[in-house]
Structures are given as structure tokens and as C-alpha cells.
Structure 1
Amino acid sequence: MTLQLLLARAGDGQPVLETPLTAESLRGAPLPAPLPKPTHLYNMSAEPDSLREQRWALVVPDTRRGRCLERILSPLCERRAEEQGRKVDVYPAPPGMDMSKAREFVDEKMYPTSRSSREHARYVLLAGTPEDLSMELQEELTGDGSCLVGRLPFEREEDYAAYVAKVVAREQDATRPRKARALLLTAQDRSPQILSGHQFVTAPAARRCSAARSQGFFPASSVVAEELSAGSKGRLMELAGAREPALLFTLSHGVGGPLSGWASAEEQRREQGNMWLGNRTVLTAEEVRQGAFLPGGIWFYFACFGAGTPARSVYQPWMEQLVRSGLMPKRELESIERSRPLEARPFIAALPQAALANPDGPLAVIGHLDHAWICAFHDPRNGQSHVNRLEEALASLVEGYRAGLALQSLSRFAAKADRELRKHYQADAQAEASGQSQAPQVEERAYLWMERHDVTHYTLLGDPAVRLVDRPSR
């Protein structure tokens, strides 16, 4: 079992982690903190796709800017109120909440026990950057995946207005298509990481989606699977620029810190997480901000920092431990650390922000808010593919289910991995307490540890209630 990272150096595009890590490197990895467990309930017996039964709510920063954002987002709130048959709840939240304050806010303001679970909003849109609404609040709301959370992270108020106008216009368009294309693309730069990613993720996912479509279970108008040759930005823009809505899945390296480090925090925020296409070619925010780029579509962007960069990677303590134990060269850790935020603050990547702000762009982007590893959908212990999980998420989107449900279909696997992983640590503790020896299950534990962290850090940018296409009447 090897662990391969989808992160390329800015400038030359060399893989940041040159040598894949082994399962043995995770032998002493620290036990993760427990996943947040919501103390509130929703209408779990009701149709999960129905806003009338599940509710939709908006969270804005409790600031002057937050009040401005609430006004800008009012047309979207009116649209959701119409769907759910009641006024939308809007919650002003203090900026900068830590986990304790976030938990208190969620429990006391959003989901108090004095209200019936039928009135609790399961779909939640956060409007604001991480400076406006903390990542701890988002993490607390996400919890075990039962709450369907999306974030609009724009810094410019005009981008919120553009996004709202796009979503409302799409949903009110009586001629909106009932089918969408499915595009599964690998940015093939011939690196070992991308070769493995295509072999174990993109190609089998495309085969499963095509087979399901032939049996009537994947209702896309077409399934297109391609390996983009190095530097072939034109082909990507051609496929993404068609007027028919599309579900786009891309696998690539995300751009990380250059060999010399980022010159400024502004440069890092502008370029980190951009899509590396090989041959010194990068898809940038400027190129997806204007013109047709996945109009009315949804983008599943599989790359390091595709959605953004945390203040501190969840993998950082583990990698520091590897250096101390001699299992990772210090220069490789230094190379990875060039992607840490210069201002020690989390930020949302510029690329998905620009795509969402584009009036002719996608309705939602699903991406990684940390490092992304190949083993998310491939079990290296036995060579088995877990792309059935990816297929399930993609299928829910082409079937017209709301975007938040697609992300939830992935999140539940994190909860399962977390439970199994804790059994391993508990067994170790019991064996140590009784003085018994226990044969280490290195590869199984390593896979569970990586799966738990990797799947947990997917995030949805955009309204979790949007649909790729209208669902057919039932």
C-alpha cells in the first residue's frame, strides 16, 4: 500500500511528494479527534430532497457586511421560502468562533431543543469567507454528515449578486433540460500520481457510470471520459464550454507552493489550488470567471486544495512525526509546508470562487479543503476500487437530487471509517493494559486512517439545495 498526494509545485509542476509513503508510515499516526456529533435532530423519516419537509436556512456574519449579504441573498431566500412553504430562517453568527463557541451557537440559536425537529433546517447555506464565518462553525454544522452544508465564500459583494441571479434564473427557466452530460477527465501529466489516479479512480468510475447508464440507472445524456494530454487546456475549455449542463469530474494535481515559496499571501490565495494541466499549463481563476465554463453545471474537483487551504493541515502532526522518525526526508516536509497559509489563516481557493461567480458558470463545486490522496476511492490493501462511492455521488447529481445529498453520500463513509479506526486503537489500549501482545494490522489501520481524514475534508461551495437538472415527476 502506498500513499500518493495530488499536489504539484507552482512553476515547474513537479510532484511535491516525490516518493509515495508506505502503510508503515502510518503505524504511529495519532488517533483523530472524534467527528462532531450533532445534538439536534431533523425530520429524518421524510424525503431528504424535499425542502418542504427538510427546511433551508441561511447563516450570515453578525456584522454590517452580514446584513448587506442578507439583502443581496434575499431573492434566493424568497425562492427557497416558496419551495418550503414558509419563511426562511436567517441566523446572524459572530465571526471568529472556535469549536466551543460554534457548538454553543448551533445548539442554542439554530437547533434549540425547544423547537420541534420538523422545524430544524437540514439544508444550511453559509454566506461569507472564513474570516466572516469560521471554519469551526462549518465543521460543527457538518458533524456526521446529516446536516447538508454549503458555503458561498466570495470576498466581493457583486459576486454574491451574480451567483444569486444565476441560480434563481436557472431554477425559474421552464425550458431547463432534464438531462445533463457527465464528463470524467484526467489532467494527464504522466506523473506516477496521475497515472495511478486515472487507473484506479477516473477510468473505473467512467466504466461504472457508462454501464449504469446502459441499464437505465445513470440518466445522463452522455458519458464522456478522456485523458487530457499534458497542457491541453483548449480541450478542457471546449468540453466545459458547451451550453448543455454538465456534471464535470476532474482529477489533477492542485497547485501548491513553489520551490522558493510564495512571494506573498495575495499570490498564494490567487494561485494555490489552481488546476495543474501539465506542461507548465494551469487553469486559473481569471480563465473561468468570464465566458461559458460549465454553465448551469456542477464541478467535482479532485485535487489538493481544490476547495481551499486550512490554517493547519490535519496531516501535519503525522508528517512531522515521520520526519522525526526518519521515515520522511525533511526536505519533503519542507516542500509540503510551502503550501501552508502565509498568514496562518484558512482561505477558499480562487478557482472555484471565480467559477461560481461567473454568470455562465457552475451552480456548485465540490472539492478538497486540505491535501487530497489517491486512496480515497481505491483500497491499496487488496487492489479493490471503491469508486462505487464516487459513482453514487455522481449518480445522485445526474438524477436531479440536490447537491448537498451528493456530498452526504461521501460523508457517511468517513463516519464508518472513524468507527472502525477507533476499534483498532481501543484494541491496542486493551492489549497494552492486559500485558498481551497483539499483531499489528498495519495496512488496514493505515487505510482507515487515510480514508477517515480524506473523505471528511470534501466540502461543497455553493447552495446545497441546487440541482443539476430537474427531477422527473414521480
Structure 2
Amino acid sequence: MDEDFVFNGVDGLTGEPLLAPMSADEVAQLVAPERLREQDAGLEVPRSFGLGFGLDPANIVDAGWTIVFASDEAQAVRDALQPLIDHRAGSGAVVRVLTAEPGEGFGPFMARHGVYPGEIEPEVMGYYLLIVGSPAKIPWEFQYHADIEYAVGRLAFDNAEAYARYASSVIATETASEPPTSKRISFWGPRHDRATELSHDDLLEPLINGEQDNGEGRPKPGIAAQLKWEASTFLHEDATKANFLGALNQRPSLLLTASHGIGNFKPGSAEQLSRQGALLAADWGGPGSIGPADYVAAEDIPNDLELAGMIAFHFACYGAGTPLRDCFRHRDGQAPKRLAKTEFVAALPQRLLSHPNGSALAVIGHVDRAWGSSFLDRSGRHIGPFRNTLGNLMSGKPVGFAVAGFNERYAVLSNSVASLLEKRGLGEEVDAKLLSRAWLGRNDAQNYVVLGDPAVKLQFGRG
């Protein structure tokens, strides 16, 4: 690579990159020492498989299911999700209903409910944890920290009717006599600049076609071929807006997209809330201009689509949502850039999860910017968490369990940063570039989240 760090994301107003490529030296200058010190106390967070001996974390009956409402959540929202709560209880799982106080961190939340790190007791709080409400009420950081030990998802809609549609669709999908989808996975990804060359060539293509040599002499087939699924591909110039909708029309069980996400709208504006995180398609003519015809936004999803039973995974900046402040850039003496008036969930996954003709089961996505370092660094390609997530989903595992690889990467990198900071605190010399890589990689890994009930799993037919 010519540059050590290449960033995804395109400015929704100008069509220019959200952030130009940077060398490792430039990135090291952006990682403020005081920001690292602030995070030091909470960094050492090894992933703990604290579920009791003999209990299967992929089985909701063993692992338990808990729903967490903000303490001031409207009764109409609670009522809208009651059928889903009853449905989960009817499966035989231990079900708990808990509340989080406004702005409460996950640590204080655990302590208040008598939950201890490393001890997942379904009777107290289930392994599958569904957060209900906007991240303005229950912050993204709460979800990141919960993800270290638990299988976590979030539902956040603007009205009770959307929650009711999601609950109704999940129940209908899980109780249908015939599965709504077949064993089909669709891949969609343009290739029009350095960032999307990386996501196209080093993420999508090896997942589709396999890897001939992974550095250890063990070739891997494409994920669909390995699991005997059908695959549809819409790559490079075929990754158009029309073909995105065409892919949905094929009713795949699973959709993986890799593209730029749209960002940099005015914080709090209607345009930001409706279009930030939209997926840039091959229709785009390149830097310097951009418009709604160039990307897939919530408003582009027609009412007659049938999405019931599908899980989508979007690798894109802001594809799941936007935090209050920039998680990555922070110069000495300067506060991180404010990105939003309040934290929010992206509109496109909200639309997929509350569709009036049957909703998707879940959407996996990224909060804040997505980085090529998610799957590629100087040592080579590292797509294991992506491949394992797809493989787990295609094998019928719950989505919250399927994404564990990203949470494990977050925990490992958190420990790496904590170790480097400890050495620096003891007066040892620490390579600034090594520290910045670990810190940025940690933030990137933590920002993968599940939107939807983490206990849902694909209900596919034979093909």
C-alpha cells in the first residue's frame, strides 16, 4: 500500500472523500495522548465467556434473553414490543425486562441490576440483550461495552408503530410453516477509488471466490460454495442503485454490501437524519459532485419489497449510525469534532427493519467511519471476522452470536492499547505509530453493531 491508512466515506454535500489517505505518522499525530489517558481505565476488557458450564451460547433457551428499555420510554413502545417479549418467553428461554437510566453506562447498569463481569446468569440477565431506544437515550458506548460479554442488538424507531411492525414480522417469520427465504446470499459493492478497490478486491472477492493461499498454505473456498448456498453478485460497475433494489427483489436470506457511506451533513439537519449512512452506488461519477441518484437511502426502498426473513450486513461509514463526536480524529488540546446534534441510528437500516411489507430480521453495520484496516493491514488480509459472521449466519446461528469475532477483536485490541499505555506510564519508550494503529483498530472494531433482536436467525428453505 502507498498509504498506511485509507478511509471510506464520501461527503454527501460535495462528493469529496470524508478523509484523505494518511501515513502512519500522520495518524499518530491525530491520536491525542490525553484522549488515550481518558480511556486507559476502561481499556483492559478481555472478552469473557461467562455463560455457565454446559450452557450453549448459540441456544437462546440456555442463554436467556433480556430486553432493556430506557426508564422513560413511552408505554406505547413497551406495548408494541410485548408480543415479541411473549414470543421469546414462549420459546422456553428465561426472559427479563430491565431498564436503563438516561445516559447510564453499562458498568453502573450491571451493578444496579446485580450483574457481575464474567458471570452471565440468564436468571439475572440473559446473554441475548436487546436494547430499545435511540442512542441519545441509551448511548452507543453502552452497546459497545455490553458487546464484550453479551450478544447485543438495538431497536430504535421514531414511533411505536414501527416497533410493532418489527415485532410482528419477526414472530411471523419464526412461526411460518414455510421459510420466507432460500439459501441465497447476495453481494453488492462498487469499485471506484482506492478505498472501494480495497473493499472490493480484499473483502468481497475473497468471500465470493475464496482465497487460494491465506499465508499458511490452506486455501479456502468461497463462503457460498463451502456451505452449498446460491450466490448473486453485483460488483464494480454492476453495483448500481437499481441492482441493489434488484438484489433485494431476489429475496436473499443474507445481503453483504461494501461501499462508501454518505456523511458530513449538517448536524441535526433533516438531511443528516434521513441520508447519513446511505450507500454510494456505482452510479456515482466521482469526486466533485453527488446527488440522491448516486446512493441508496431509506427513501429509495419501495413499499412493495418483501424483506421478511433477511439479514443485511453493510460495510460502510455510518451504515449503522452516527456518534455524537468523532471517534478517530483528536488533536492535542482540541475536543473531538462534533458529528451530530445527538447520537442516532441510520435511516436505511431503520427502514429495512420496519418495512410495511415485512421487515428484515437484523442489520449489521458500523457506527462512525469504516476503515480498510478492518480487513487489511501491512501483514496482509484479515477477513476472518467477516467470513465467520457469514458462516455462522448461514449455519443458522443467532445474529448476536454470529458477530462475536468483531467483539473479540475489540477486546484483544483494547488489551493491546492498555498494555502499551501501561508501559508508557512506567517510562518505557512506546512506538507512537504502533500505539496509534492499535487504538484506531480498537475503535474500528468496537463500532460494529447489530440492529435488531440479537436472538434472530435465518429461517431459510432448501434453496
Among candidates 140, 146, 150, match of residue 141 of structure 1? 146
* Counterpart residue number, 1:158: 161
SS in structure 2 at match of 1:84: coil
Hey, what's the Cα distance between the residues in 2 that align with 1:68 and 1:212? 49
RMSD: 3.1
* Counterpart residue number, 1:13: 15
- The structural deviation recorded for 1:270 is 1.1
For structure 1, which segment, 127-136 or 193-202, has the greater mean C-alpha deviation from structure 2 after superposition? 127-136
Q: Does 1:253 align with 2:251?
A: no
- Residues 12/85 of structure 1: CA separation in 2 closer, same or farther (3 Å cut): closer
For structure 1, which segment, 154-163 or 176-185, has the greater mean C-alpha deviation from structure 2 after superposition? 176-185
* Counterpart residue number, 2:215: none
SS in structure 2 at match of 1:180: strand
- Letter of the 1:423 partner, please give it: S
Does the 8 Å contact 2:267/2:339 carry over to 1? no
Hey, what's the Cα distance between the residues in 1 that align with 2:435 and 2:343? 29
Hey, what's the Cα distance between the residues in 2 that align with 1:248 and 1:357? 17
Hey, what's the Cα distance between the residues in 1 that align with 2:413 and 2:267? 39
- Residues 289/178 of structure 1: CA separation in 2 closer, same or farther (3 Å cut): closer
Q: How does 1:223-234 map to 2 (within 5 A)?
A: 223-229=231-237, 232-234=240-242
SS in structure 2 at match of 1:166: helix
Does the 8 Å contact 2:389/2:405 carry over to 1? yes
Does the 8 Å contact 1:62/1:93 carry over to 2? yes
Q: How does 1:67-106 map to 2 (within 5 A)?
A: 67-86=75-94, 88-94=95-101, 96-99=102-105, 102-106=106-110
Does the 8 Å contact 1:242/1:294 carry over to 2? no
Does the 8 Å contact 2:51/2:63 carry over to 1? yes
Give CA deviations for 1:69-97 in whole Å, capped at 9, x if unaligned.
222111111111122344x2111333x22
- The structural deviation recorded for 1:422 is 2.9
Q: How does 1:191-206 map to 2 (within 5 A)?
A: 191-206=193-208
Does the 8 Å contact 1:305/1:372 carry over to 2? yes
- Letter of the 2:339 partner, please give it: R
Among candidates 52, 61, 69, match of residue 70 of structure 2? 61
- The structural deviation recorded for 1:460 is 0.6
Among candidates 274, 284, 288, match of residue 270 of structure 1? 274
- The structural deviation recorded for 1:273 is 1.0
Hey, what's the Cα distance between the residues in 1 that align with 2:181 and 2:240? 30
- Residues 464/449 of structure 1: CA separation in 2 closer, same or farther (3 Å cut): same
Give CA deviations for 1:173-208 in whole Å, capped at 9, x if unaligned.
1211685212222123x1221112212222222223
- Residues 368/85 of structure 1: CA separation in 2 closer, same or farther (3 Å cut): closer
Q: Does 1:237 align with 2:245?
A: yes
Hey, what's the Cα distance between the residues in 2 that align with 1:429 and 1:132? 35
Structure with the higher helix share, 1 or 2: 1
* Counterpart residue number, 1:349: 346
Q: Does 1:450 align with 2:440?
A: yes
Among candidates 285, 300, 305, match of residue 292 of structure 1? 305
Q: Does 1:122 align with 2:134?
A: no
Give CA deviations for 1:85-119 in whole Å, capped at 9, x if unaligned.
44x2111333x2243xx422222226279x98252
* Counterpart residue number, 1:372: 370
Identical amino acids, percent of aligned pairs:
25
In structure 2, stretches of 5+ residues that fail to align are 213-218
Among candidates 202, 215, 219, match of residue 227 of structure 2? 219
Q: Does 1:46 align with 2:55?
A: yes
Q: What is the TM-score of this pair, normalised by structure 1? A: 0.82
For structure 1, which segment, 356-365 or 301-310, has the greater mean C-alpha deviation from structure 2 after superposition? 356-365
Q: What is the TM-score of this pair, normalised by structure 2? A: 0.84
- Residues 442/92 of structure 1: CA separation in 2 closer, same or farther (3 Å cut): closer
Give CA deviations for 1:316-367 in whole Å, capped at 9, x if unaligned.
32xx34x99xxxxxxxx9xx95x811x2x11111111011101334210111
Q: How does 1:171-182 map to 2 (within 5 A)?
A: 171-176=174-179, 179-182=182-185
